[in-house]
């Protein structure tokens, strides 16, 4: 069965729109874009359009690639102190002369809608409630919950250990009482681990999950998104051959991608004062 991220995302966005309207929520998201990376420009535009569609005010601050680290940090400090701004998002990747670790340390945890600040990451790591969970893993859990896929006690395998997907995904599955294994490029016998897992979340960026590795009860969540040699968008999983052999699977595109947007909008609609 296909886990339809697009449909679930639309439903979440519709519910959020109603909630924002009914409760007169005054959310105001500021997105900062440094430089002119074309992919980032598209992502930022989409975030702004989606936010506005559901009633979240959204402003994009476009900064030239020559912006210094200190200039960017000062802009974020000013936004932290602006009561009208409820969410701050700095689009990644940043130009190489700006250290993203310094940026995430400056954003106020109460406005850190990406959930990347040390306070939010630390709270998640020690089992506390962060102000915001990172959008992609939170979106994945929203999708699994929508299909009533149980997490308690299941063997979950997370492939990839990035700060934006793999690590928080593992923490969040652990918080939901799954038994979690994290695989990465040094992992031995990955095939065996995939075969025996109840849930596999793959966030790698190249084909790692093939047909002979899965079982008929597997739930496969494909986070990867990249272009194959023919320029076609694809994921980490060999979808055509794997999908008939498993219980649930997310497509690419139309799976985790739209859920990330819905989850980010859920975060952007949260207002802390």
Q: Which stretch binds ligand NAP (CB under 6 A): 40-48, 77-85, 112-120, 153-161?
A: 153-161
Binding mask 216-245 for ligand NAP (x = CB under 6 A): -------xxxx-------------------
Q: What pairs with residue 29 in β-bridges?
A: 58, 87
Cis peptide bond N-terminal to 245, omega within 30: no
| CA proximity to 30, closest of 82, 95, 96, 68 | 82
186 binds ligand NAP (CB under 6 A): yes
- For 60, half-sphere exposure in the C-beta direction (CA atoms, 13 angstrom radius) is 20
What's the closest the beta carbon of residue 192 comes to ligand NAP, in angstroms? 13
Q: Phi, psi (5° rounding) for residue 61?
A: -100, 110
Q: Which residues are CB-neighbours of 39 under 8 A, at least 6 positions away?
A: none
Cβ within 8 Å of residue 41, ≥6 positions away: 33
Q: Which two tokens stand for residue 21?
A: 């309207």
Exactly one of 11, 77, 97, 184 binds ligand NAP (CB under 6 A); that residue is 184
The question of whether 228 is a catalytic residue gets the answer: no
Active-site residue among 47, 110, 111, 123?
Answer: 47
Stretch that binds ligand NAP, among 22-30, 44-52, 57-65, 179-187 (CB under 6 A): 179-187
Q: Is 218 left (phi over 0), alpha (psi -120 to 50) or beta?
A: beta
CB-wise, 130 or 166, nearer to ligand NAP?
A: 166
Work out the angle between the directed axes of helices 166-175 and 118-125 (0-180°, nearest 10): 40
136 binds ligand NAP (CB under 6 A): yes
Q: Does 126 bind ligand NAP (CB under 6 A)?
A: no
In the complex, what is the shortest distance from the CB of residue 66 to ligand NAP, in angstroms, rounded to a whole number?
26
Cα separation of 113 and 115, whole Å?
Answer: 5
Q: Is 194 in the site for ligand NAP (CB under 6 A)?
A: no
When binding is defined by CB under 6 A, the residue of 13, 203, 219, 237 that contacts ligand NAP is 203
Tell me, yes or no, if 138 is annotated catalytic.
Answer: no
- Which of 4, 112, 114, 198 does the annotation list as catalytic? 114
Rounded alpha-carbon distances, angstroms, from residue 167 to 2, 26, 127: 25, 32, 13
Question: Within 18-57, which residues bind ligand NAP (CB under 6 A)?
Answer: none
Binding interface with ligand NAP (CB under 6 A): 136, 159-162, 164-166, 183-187, 190, 203-205, 208, 223-226, 256-257, 260
């Amino acid at each position: 069965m296909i886990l339809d991220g697009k449909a679930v995302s639309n439903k979440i966005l519709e519910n959020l729109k109603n909630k924002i309207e009914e409760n007169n929520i005054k959310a105001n998201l500021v997105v900062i874009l440094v430089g002119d990376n074309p992919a980032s420009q598209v992502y930022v535009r989409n975030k702004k359009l989606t936010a506005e569609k559901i009633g979240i005010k959204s402003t994009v601050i476009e900064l030239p690639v020559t912006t210094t680290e200190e200039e960017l940090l000062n802009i974020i400090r000013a936004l932290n102190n602006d009561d009208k701004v409820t969410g701050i998002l700095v689009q990644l990747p940043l130009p190489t002369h700006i250290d993203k670790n310094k940026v995430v340390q400056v954003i106020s945890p109460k406005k850190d809608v990406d959930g990347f600040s040390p306070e939010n990451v630390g709270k998640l790591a020690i089992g506390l409630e962060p102000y915001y969970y990172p959008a992609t893993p939170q979106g994945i859990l929203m999708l699994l919950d929508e299909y009533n896929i149980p997490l308690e006690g299941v063997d979950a395998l997370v492939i990839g250990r990035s700060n934006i997907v793999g690590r928080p995904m593992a923490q969040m599955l652990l918080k939901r009482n799954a038994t979690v294994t994290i695989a990465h490029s040094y992992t031995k016998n990955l095939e065996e681990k995939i075969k025996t897992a109840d849930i596999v979340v793959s966030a790698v960026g190249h084909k790692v999950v093939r047909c002979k590795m899965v079982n008929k009860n597997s739930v496969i969540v494909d986070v990867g998104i990249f272009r194959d040699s023919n320029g076609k968008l694809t994921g980490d999983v060999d979808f055509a051959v794997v999908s008939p052999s498993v219980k649930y699977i997310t497509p690419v595109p139309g799976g985790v991608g739209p859920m990330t947007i819905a989850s980010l909008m859920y975060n952007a609609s949260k207002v802390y004062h």
